[in-house]
Structure 1
Amino acid sequence: RGRLGARAVAGLVALSLATGGVAGWVGGRLEDRADAPQDVALPASVTGSRDVEDLTGVARIAAEVLPSVVSIEVAGAEGSGTGSGFVLREDGHILTNNHVVSAAADSGRIVVVFADGSQADATVVGRTPEYDLAVIRVDRTGLTPLALADSDEVVVGDPVVAIGAPLGLQGTVTTGIVSALNRPVSAGNAVETAFINAIQTDAAINPGNSGGPLVNAAGEVVGINSAIAQAPGLGQAAGSIGLGFAIPSNQARRTAEELIATGEATYPVIGVLLDQRYTGEGVQVATEEQQGQQPVTPDGPADRAGIRPGDVITAIDGRPVTDADELIVAIRARAPGDAVTLTVRTGDDDAREVRVVLDVVPTD
């Protein structure tokens, strides 16, 4: 901006003095009037301060949840960034996204900023790119954890609240509803991509919200905010367009428990390769080897269930699948050892249902 010259400053001073003179003259005239106002104080609020017990709706949810939500600052060889997280256990365990801390997982610094403004260095307990989840820990006790709800009980239309630090703005609260369930969504980054069976919400989620909680009307975590949709052609997500996605809390619970116990996580598989070129109904098991791997793993879950190369899978547990990602995330939403029912068709034969017990694979 241009600087004011000496003449301009002098002009401002003169104008100020002139205005003051007029104001003094008017004030004097008002004092001479018998009907001049004697009290110009405006009405004061009689409500007073409110305790948490007095709050309702989103205000109460925010007051109860905010103290357990943190901002995470990361600096490493690949750069720096910020994200969100929340207290998982009172002994300093915090849950967030893998893509929030991955840049500093091996070398770098992770700083957790609490709601009261205090800070603490954190270390990575365990992380998994396959589920885009990470558990970090600070050297503190007596923290207030958030409860993980049963995400299987979530229904479309449920009210939800997203809390986090979008664009570094800590303690931001937005509201919306559950817009859809079982969305096959890829999260993470170009190097470490996760496929999640996501909860979709229209609550505003922006860069920096990643790792923060999506809570229900009871203030319990139903999801971990992880990704947002972006218009085609954009290199990176610019901001919320009303399409945000969260990892369901049941998935987060199972994975976090494994990470805390062993530092690693596992995921289930059925032991088939899918043909990404297939465009017909359902998804098709590949017919050829891929990078030396058989289309159907010998003696794997699918093989034992009678699934063969070229078979078409049209549903899992009665839920139709229309592309490969849908089947992948539906399976990864289960736990190793779980049994699923697949609807399978071989050639022109009638569809049949087969029971498949999921095998276990350790994450990288």
Structure 2
Amino acid sequence: MTAPSRPDDDDLFAPPEPPAHPAEPAPPVVPVVPALPASPFPPTLSSTPSGVPPRPAAEHAGPAVDHGEPTATALGTVRAPAAASARRRRPGTAAVVALALVAGAVGGFAGGRISDALDDGRPTDAALPTSGTGNAATGASAGAARPDGSVAALAADVLPSVVSIQVTGADGVSTGSGFVLREDGYILTNNHVVAPTGGKGSARVTFSDGRERDAKVVGRTADYDLAVIKVDEDGLEPLVLGDSDEVVVGDPVLAVGAPLGLDSTVTTGIVSALHRPVQAGDETGGATTAFIDAIQTDAAINPGNSGGPLIDADGEVVGINSAIAQPPGALAATGNIGLGFAIPSAQARHTAEQLIESGHATYPVIGALLDTSYAGEGVKVSDASRQGQAAVTPDGPADRAGIRPGDVILSVDGRPVTMSDALIVAIRARQPGDAVTLRVRTDGQERDVRVVLQERESE
């Protein structure tokens, strides 16, 4: 099932027109998370059930758009395979990589095999002699002190603030991850994790110590694939949202969550790349597509990790794990391949504040439609109206900056853009009211123009 497309917009974030040429096959890559609708960069998040590890169902991912770099899909809860949408490939660029969301569905064989081993009377590791009587969920055992700054010490500090989220909707139960944002019960996760509630379902949160609490959705936005939920409890230990703008390639990171229903799981890796354009679409969450300027990591991410934190060496959250890559043609996420994608904390902080304050979020626009059939250098502004909407919105930001239909945008604040998705995520990473410098070509002549981004309310 393909996610429905939103009505045409009058800005850079309007749904792309059907590609003029089918995408070439991508290299063999498999997303670590269940897939979302087939979009160029569909990020998918997966959540894990509370209590005994759930039996996650495989999700399906759609093809990613290629702007010269591999792209990813956010982790998301999807029950039916997403239809693939072909995207064009630029000459001389890397092959397209399909992405998938990683929200999990209760059901499947992985969690089942694990729980069966615990219940059928056969010997398990639990029966073996141990050197301490620690907490199995957090891995803390008596006398197991570790040096400050070690992975073990970071994990011990972070795990009590990471939760599993189980959501009941019209189509059944799905699971994901999240983390405490404020001590008074606010928790941050992915929109695709809670989308199955449709605003009418229920969510259940499980803490690392086994406590369970009902949660209500405070606000969510499919445009950024983020959501805030709240439990009726005070005195929680929140995680600190770090500065993702200070992250560099090679920084060590931890991914924390409940992959495949295995609560309180910690994996390690590094930041593999920055500014990966990720386009996420969620079949269960509605028509809106999220465009994310993602952090790429090789820390193992699997279905159920959706909404969990990506932690830096200081124990601060620098990203929200949301998607993984998968091999071309794969109908289901098969597990970690070292290509995971996270929403930067800078974006998450701003959006979470809006959701808590008003239940809604906003995003920036420049007021121009893009021609996705264009195959030349840069990104072309459409030279024709679409469904009654002007290619350049009269008196909009682009119009006031002197951008005209048919112009080609070459870069944003000095960063080259070669695909429409790359331009969209570069704009979405800013805030309404911010000014950006676009390098624009008109009739063979290049110039820099300053564009002040306009606000639009998220769906």
Q: Settle same-fold status: TM greater than 0.5.
A: yes
The answer for the alignment partner of 1:147 in structure 2 is 240
Residue 108 of structure 1, CA deviation: 1.4
Q: How many angstroms apart in 1 are the aligned matches of 2:344 and 2:161?
A: 19
Given residue 207 of structure 1, which amino acid in structure 2 is its aligned partner? Answer: P
The answer as to whether partners of 2:270 and 2:298 remain within 8 angstroms in 1 is: yes
The answer for the alignment partner of 1:312 in structure 2 is 408
The answer for the alignment partner of 1:128 in structure 2 is 221
Q: How many angstroms apart in 2 are the aligned matches of 1:52 and 1:304?
A: 61
**Corresponding residue to 2:454 among 350, 359, 364:** 359
Secondary structure at the counterpart of residue 360 of structure 2 = coil
The answer for the alignment partner of 1:83 in structure 2 is 176
Given residue 436 of structure 2, which amino acid in structure 1 is its aligned partner? Answer: V
Structure 1 residues 151 and 56: CA distance shift in structure 2, 3 A: closer
Secondary structure at the counterpart of residue 404 of structure 2 = coil
The answer as to whether partners of 1:342 and 1:353 remain within 8 angstroms in 2 is: yes
Q: How many angstroms apart in 2 are the aligned matches of 1:175 and 1:222?
A: 14
CA deviations 1:328-363 (Å, max 9, x no partner) are 0010000000000000000222x1100000000001
**Corresponding residue to 1:272 among 344, 365, 368:** 368
2:265 corresponds to 1:169: no
2:279 corresponds to 1:186: yes
Residue 136 of structure 1, CA deviation: 0.2
The answer as to whether partners of 1:135 and 1:260 remain within 8 angstroms in 2 is: yes
Q: How many angstroms apart in 2 are the aligned matches of 1:132 and 1:208?
A: 15
Residue 187 of structure 1, CA deviation: 2.4
The answer for the alignment partner of 2:341 in structure 1 is 245
Structure 1 residues 54 and 157: CA distance shift in structure 2, 3 A: closer
Residue 107 of structure 1, CA deviation: 1.6
**Corresponding residue to 2:162 among 69, 87, 102:** 69
Q: How many angstroms apart in 2 are the aligned matches of 1:51 and 1:261?
A: 42
Given residue 312 of structure 1, which amino acid in structure 2 is its aligned partner? Answer: V
Q: How many angstroms apart in 2 are the aligned matches of 1:302 and 1:218?
A: 41
Greater displacement, 233-242 / 127-136: 233-242
The answer for the alignment partner of 1:14 in structure 2 is none
The answer for the alignment partner of 1:229 in structure 2 is 325
The answer for the alignment partner of 1:201 in structure 2 is 297
Instruction: Quote the sequence identity (%).
Output: 68
Given residue 299 of structure 2, which amino acid in structure 1 is its aligned partner? Answer: A
Secondary structure at the counterpart of residue 99 of structure 1 = helix
2:333 corresponds to 1:333: no
**Corresponding residue to 2:391 among 270, 288, 295:** 295
Secondary structure at the counterpart of residue 229 of structure 1 = strand
Given residue 114 of structure 1, which amino acid in structure 2 is its aligned partner? Answer: F
Residue 53 of structure 1, CA deviation: 6.2
CA deviations 1:266-299 (Å, max 9, x no partner) are 0000110000000100000001111221110110
Secondary structure at the counterpart of residue 310 of structure 2 = strand
The answer as to whether partners of 1:98 and 1:188 remain within 8 angstroms in 2 is: no
Greater relative contact order (Cα < 8 A, sep 6+): 2
Structure 1 residues 85 and 293: CA distance shift in structure 2, 3 A: same
Q: How many angstroms apart in 1 are the aligned matches of 2:383 and 2:297?
A: 38
Structure 1 residues 225 and 231: CA distance shift in structure 2, 3 A: same
The answer as to whether partners of 2:185 and 2:233 remain within 8 angstroms in 1 is: yes
The answer as to whether partners of 1:52 and 1:63 remain within 8 angstroms in 2 is: no
Residue 146 of structure 1, CA deviation: 0.3
Structure 1 residues 282 and 142: CA distance shift in structure 2, 3 A: same
The answer for the alignment partner of 1:22 in structure 2 is none
Residue 77 of structure 1, CA deviation: 0.3
Q: How many angstroms apart in 2 are the aligned matches of 1:118 and 1:168?
A: 16
Unaligned runs of 5+ in 1: 1-43
Secondary structure at the counterpart of residue 235 of structure 1 = coil
Greater displacement, 183-192 / 232-241: 183-192
The answer as to whether partners of 2:319 and 2:344 remain within 8 angstroms in 1 is: yes
Q: How many angstroms apart in 1 are the aligned matches of 2:275 and 2:148?
A: 33
Secondary structure at the counterpart of residue 326 of structure 2 = coil
Unaligned runs of 5+ in 2: 1-130, 133-140
Q: Which has the larger radius of gyration?
A: 1
Q: How many angstroms apart in 2 are the aligned matches of 1:290 and 1:123?
A: 39
Q: How many angstroms apart in 2 are the aligned matches of 1:247 and 1:304?
A: 31
Residue 238 of structure 1, CA deviation: 2.0
Q: How many angstroms apart in 2 are the aligned matches of 1:286 and 1:231?
A: 32
Residue 195 of structure 1, CA deviation: 1.1
The answer for the alignment partner of 1:261 in structure 2 is 357
Q: How many angstroms apart in 2 are the aligned matches of 1:139 and 1:291?
A: 46
Q: How many angstroms apart in 2 are the aligned matches of 1:139 and 1:362?
A: 28
Given residue 356 of structure 1, which amino acid in structure 2 is its aligned partner? Answer: V
The answer as to whether partners of 2:149 and 2:313 remain within 8 angstroms in 1 is: no
Q: How many angstroms apart in 2 are the aligned matches of 1:204 and 1:362?
A: 34
TM (norm. structure 2) is 0.68
Greater displacement, 236-245 / 246-255: 236-245
Structure 1 residues 343 and 180: CA distance shift in structure 2, 3 A: same
Given residue 115 of structure 1, which amino acid in structure 2 is its aligned partner? Answer: S
**Corresponding residue to 2:201 among 108, 113, 118:** 108
Given residue 301 of structure 2, which amino acid in structure 1 is its aligned partner? Answer: I
The answer for the alignment partner of 1:34 in structure 2 is none
Residue 88 of structure 1, CA deviation: 0.2
Q: How many angstroms apart in 2 are the aligned matches of 1:52 and 1:363?
A: 46
